[in-house]
């Protein structure tokens, strides 16, 4: 297949390399001219594409000559009117998709689309405007915009907190004290499993579905992050006393059942 990956960052670049090594022809986008040479050196056809929020006028139209698009552009945190901005970005992509040969889209979303409800949450447990953060509400609207178009098929994968190799949430928590929500379970996923799930979707005949991508294990934060900090020789974070029990756990049962996917890192303690 010819696969275009819009967003070759922490996840998109290793995904591009994996799919390239699997025999696919890969086109990758970056917002940095300096990174074009890096992509080319990895045998990934490089394209300079920006969405600010509209598609840059000088974007090479060859990027859209593909069979499948992996859309991996998260909404920017801290941006004013993040929902409106991200929706214009996605609309710009949709406008281009309608004129292209691309018939399938895999949209990288996030479990931040869910409200903070106590219980196990599945793919249907979303309420517009009730996500934990504005970025979650932006992603939920983007999902709906993509899935409502009939000129291409969209599959959504909602990844949990991302970790792996040079990235881990504990790096931002080390040494902090009096942290809240210590009993809240983590909902994480390793980079290798993100890539494995996207590969499984590409190889399958499943379309027009939404999946949660989180690992099996959900240890509480007050146990998990200090243990990981110790393993990484970081100062462990400290949590305030927490009597709470009603926190959400994101379910991956649909993913495991429909894709028959086996996690490489089912327990985030085995990082």
Instruction: Map tokens 């292209």 to a residue.
Output: 100
Task: Count structural domains, the chain.
Answer: 1
CA distances from 112 to 127, 143, 192 (A): 12, 13, 20
* Residues 24-66: tens digit of each pLDDT: 999 999 999 999 999 999 999 999 999 999 999 999 999 999 9
116 falls in which pLDDT band (50, 70, 90)? Answer: confident
Q: Residue 8 domain-assigned? A: yes
Distance, CA of 250 to CA of 123 (rounded, Å): 9
- The DSSP bridge partners found for residue 107 are 71, 156
Q: Residue 172 domain-assigned? A: no
CA 71 to mean position of chain CA atoms: 9
Q: Residue 239 domain-assigned? A: no
* Domain span holding position 196: 2-163+189-215+247-259
Q: Residue 138 domain-assigned? A: yes
* Residues 139-196: tens digit of each pLDDT: 999 999 999 999 999 999 999 999 999 899 999 999 999 999 999 999 999 999 999 9
CA distances from 146 to 119, 154, 266 (A): 28, 6, 30
pLDDT over 90 (residue 230): yes
243 falls in which pLDDT band (50, 70, 90)? Answer: confident
pLDDT of residue 80: 78
pLDDT of residue 244: 83
Q: Residue 23 domain-assigned? A: yes
Distance, CA of 271 to CA of 269 (rounded, Å): 5
pLDDT of residue 270: 84
Q: Residue 182 domain-assigned? A: no
pLDDT over 90 (residue 118): no
Q: What are phi and psi of 125, to 5 degrees?
A: -90, 50
Q: Residue 177 domain-assigned? A: no
Q: What CATH number does residue 110 fall under?
A: 3.40.50.720
* Residues 124-140: tens digit of each pLDDT: 999 888 998 899 999 99
CB environment 54-68: b (16+ within 10 A), e (fewer): ebeeebeeebbebeb
Question: What does the pLDDT average to over 241-245?
Answer: 87
Q: Residue 137 domain-assigned? A: yes
pLDDT over 80 (residue 78): no
């Amino acid at each position: 297949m010819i696969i275009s990956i819009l967003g070759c960052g922490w996840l998109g670049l290793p995904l591009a390399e994996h799919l390239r090594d699997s025999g696919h022809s890969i086109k990758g986008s970056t917002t940095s001219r300096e990174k074009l040479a890096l992509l080319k050196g990895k045998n990934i056809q490089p394209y300079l594409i920006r969405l600010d929020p509209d598609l840059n006028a000088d974007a090479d139209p060859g990027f859209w000559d593909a069979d499948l698009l992996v859309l991996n552009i998260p909404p920017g945190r801290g941006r004013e009117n993040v929902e409106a901005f991200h929706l214009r970005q996605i609309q710009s992509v949709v406008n281009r998709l309608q004129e292209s040969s691309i018939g399938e889209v895999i949209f990288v979303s996030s479990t931040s689309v869910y409200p903070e409800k106590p219980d196990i949450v599945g793919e249907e447990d979303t309420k517009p405007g009730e996500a934990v953060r504005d970025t979650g509400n932006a992603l939920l609207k983007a999902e709906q915009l993509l899935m409502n178009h009939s000129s291409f098929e969209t599959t959504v994968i909602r990844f949990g907190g991302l970790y792996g190799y040079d990235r881990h949430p504990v790096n931002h928590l080390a040494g902090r004290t009096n942290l809240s929500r210590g009993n809240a379970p983590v909902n994480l996923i390793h980079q290798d499993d993100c890539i494995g799930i996207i590969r499984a979707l590409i190889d399958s005949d499943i379309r027009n579905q939404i999946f949660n991508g989180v690992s099996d294990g959900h240890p509480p934060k007050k146990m998990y992050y200090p243990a990981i900090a110790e393993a990484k020789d970081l100062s462990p974070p400290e949590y305030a006393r927490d009597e709470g029990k009603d926190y959400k756990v994101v379910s991956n049962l649909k993913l495991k059942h429909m894709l028959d996917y086996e996690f490489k890192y089912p327990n985030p303690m085995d990082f």
